[in-house]
Amino acid sequence: MSDSKTRDRLVRSQYESYPYPKRDPADERTRLITGSPSNIPEVNHYVFGGRRDLTAPFNALVAGGGTGDAVMMLAQNMTDLGIPGEVVHLDMSGPSQAIAKERAEVRGLSNIRFVEGSLLDVSDIAPGPWDYIDCCGVLHHLEDPDAGLAALSRQLAPNGGIGIMVYGTYGRTGVYHMQDMLRTLAPSDGMEDSDRVDTAKRLAKALPTTAWLNRNGLIRDHLHGGDPGVYDLFLHSRDRAYTVPQIADWVAGAGMRLVTFIEPFLYDPNWLVRDPRLLKRLEPFDAITRAAFAEQFTGNLKKHVFYAVRQDNDVSVLTTDSPDVIPGLVNQSAAEAAELMPSGGQIVVSTEGLKVDMPVPPLARMLVGLCDGKTSLAEIHARVQEKRPEMDYATFKVQFDALYKVMSAINRMVLRMPANDG
C-alpha cells in the first residue's frame, strides 16, 4: 500500500475509533455549542453582504461534520429563524455520524441529512449548488488539501460562500515536536491505539519546561478533550498547519476570494501594535501582508478561521452607512452584552493569552442593549432620543460607529438589511 493510502486508512480509523470532538448527545438538552464560522447571522454578514433573503430556502453542507457541532448550530439557527432548507452532514466516519445523529434526535431537528463518504467525492455524493459550505478542522488532514478545497468550491452556488478552519503554524509550536517524538515512541504500526494514547499522555507529562509544548503554554486539547483530544493533537497520522500567506495562496488557487479572518482584530496590526512608528511603517502594506505580520507579532493563532466566496462574486460586506441597517450580536443576547459593556472607557479583550484594550464610546452600554438583531439604526437612534432628546442622528452615528468598530473587530456584531426576516 502506498504511503498516502496508508495514511488515508489511518486517518479514517482514527475518526472511527475516536470520534472527535468528544460529545455526549444528552448535553443537547442543556446547551447549544455555538461559535465561528457558520452561525447564520455571521454567514449572512460575511458571505451575503447582509442581504440574504432569510425566507428563501438555505442549503448548507458541512464537510467533515464530525460529531456534529457545526451541523447542530446551523440546523438549530435555521429552525429558530424559520429558514427553510437543509443541512447535510458529510463525513467518512460512521461512528462520528452516529453521535451527530443522536444529537440531532435529542434536539428534535428534522432539517439534517447524513451522507457517509469522502468530501473528495462531493460532486457525486453531495453535489451542490450549496449556499454555504462549512469545513472545519478537516482539509489540513487531507493528503492534498488543494484538491479538497477545489472540490468543495466547485459545488458552491455562484453567490455562495465557505467557512473554513485550518490549523495555524506558529500557535501550534510544540505540537509537531510531540508528533515527531511519538512516531518514534509510539509508531502506528507496532502498538495498540490505547497504548499509543497512554504513551502520548506520559510524554506530555514528562516534558521539561524547556520543551516547545510547555514554552508555548496555549496547547490544551490533550488536557480537556479526553483520549480523542490526545489522539487528534499528538498522534494524528496526517496534519499540517498554515500561515496567513499560505492561506491566501491556497484560497486564490481554488478560485476563491478571502472575505475575512475571524476574529478580524487578530489579523490587524492597528489593534495589536502600540508603537506608532512601527504602525506607520506597516501602513503601506496590503491586508494580507499586514495580517501575516500580525500572526507573527502575537504568535498565538493556533487556528485560522475564515470566510471565502468565489472569485467572481464581488459581494461587499455591509457597512453602517444606511439608517435601515440592522445590527445584531453574534452568539449573545443584547441583554447579556449590555451587562458586560461599560458606559465608555476601555474594554479588555482576552484571547489565548493576549490582552488588547479597546476604547468604547459613552453610549456603548445603551447601544449594545438595543442591538437585538431586529431594530434598525434609525430605530435605535429614536430609542436613544427618548432618553437623550438633544442627540441628532449624526452625533449618535459617531458613537455607534465607534462601538461597531470594536464589536466588529472582535466579531461580536454583524449587520443585515431589512426584509430578510426569517
Give residues in contact with ligand SAM (CB under 6 A). 11, 15, 20-21, 64-66, 69-70, 90-93, 96, 118-120, 136-138, 141-142, 232
Residue closer to ligand SAM, measured from CB, 179 or 320:
179
| Closest CB to ligand SAM among residues 171, 328 | 171
In the complex, minimum distance from the CB of residue 37 to ligand SAM, in angstroms, rounded to a whole number: 10
CA distance 320 to 335: 22
Which residue number places its CB atom closest to ligand SAM? 66
Q: Rounded to an integer, what distance in angstroms lies between the CA atom of residue 274 and that of residue 256?
A: 33
| Identity of the residue, 91 or 131, whose beta carbon is nearer to ligand SAM in the bound complex | 91
Count of positions (residues) in the chain: 422
Residue closer to ligand SAM, measured from CB, 164 or 334: 164
**Shortest reach from residue 6's CB to ligand SAM, in Å:** 15
- Least distance in angstroms from the C-beta of 155 to ligand SAM: 13
Cell numbers placing 58: 438555505
The CB-of-382 to ligand SAM minimum distance in angstroms stands at 42
Minimum CB distance to ligand SAM smaller for 120 or for 377: 120
C-alpha cell at 61: 453542507
DSSP string, 89-115: EEES-HHHHHHHHHHHHHHT--SEEEE
Nearer CB in complex with ligand SAM: 72/273? 72
Question: In the bound complex, what is the minimum distance in angstroms from residue 366's beta carbon to ligand SAM?
Answer: 37
From residue 279, how far is each of 125, 273, 293, 300, 359 by CA, in Å? 49, 7, 11, 20, 18
Q: State the nearest-atom distance from the C-beta of 63 to ligand SAM, in Å.
A: 6
Smallest distance from the beta carbon of 414 to ligand SAM, in angstroms? 21
Q: What DSSP designation does 266 have?
A: G
Q: Sign of the CA dihedral 182, 185, 191, 195?
A: negative
Cα-based distances in Å from 97 to 21, 62, 69, 206, 279: 12, 12, 11, 35, 47
Can you tell me the distance from the alpha carbon of 329 to that of 322, in angstroms, rounded to the nearest whole number?
18
Could you tell me where the beta strands, DSSP code E, fall in 263-390? 303-310, 326-329, 345-351, 354-360
Distance between CA 236 and CA 342 in Å, rounded? 44
92 versus 309: smaller Cβ distance to ligand SAM: 92
- Rounded to 10 degrees, the C-alpha dihedral 250/254/256/259 comes to -30
Beta carbon nearer to ligand SAM, 169 or 420: 169
Place of cell 457517509: 116
Provide, rounded to whole angstroms, the least separation between the CB of residue 11 and ligand SAM.
6
Choose between 70 and 133: whose C-beta lies nearer to ligand SAM: 70
Q: Tell me the closest approach of the beta carbon of residue 68 to ligand SAM, in angstroms.
A: 8
- What gap in Å lies between CA 80 and CA 368, rounded to an integer? 22
